[in-house]
Amino acid sequence: MKQYQDLCKKILKKGIEKNNRTNTKTLSLFAEKLKINLDDNIIPIITTKKINIKAIIYELLWFIKGDTNIRYLSKNNVHIWDDWVYEKFKKNKEFNGETIKEFSKKIAEDNNFAEKFGDLGAIYGKQWRK
């Protein structure tokens, strides 16, 4: 974790500002790396927050299947991608003021609704499989 935190500090201090595909300015440094000893039988999750291992497992299984619709995740009470499709749904004429929780519940329970509003497009799982 210290390596990660040190790299973050270095990026903040010496990083070069760039735009990315989402038009969000980012700071970057070219060819920086972290060395992690996998012999310690650890999973190298780089974060400074607590991790919900169940959500990680469901998300990875979802990626491996090549799925792009959040229904599988919603049915398994994993909501890390909800914001992306919810924001698109709010712009649709069928939006009736549903909260994100109501939206996610409907995705999990209604296959037709999920097919119409739950797809994220060509994200990681699809890209991995194709």
Q: What is the pLDDT of residues 88-119, one digit of tens each?
A: 999 999 999 999 999 999 999 999 999 999 99
The share of the chain scoring above pLDDT 90, in percent, equals: 64
Q: What is the pLDDT of residues 47-68, one digit of tens each?
A: 777 878 899 899 999 999 999 9
69 forms beta bridges with 119
**How far lies 84's CA from each of 10, 108, 112, in Å?**
30, 16, 18
CA pair distance 118, 14, nearest whole angstrom = 39
Q: State the pLDDT at residue 43.
A: 67
pLDDT-derived band of residue 2, with 50, 70 and 90 as boundaries?
A: confident
Q: State the pLDDT at residue 123.
A: 85
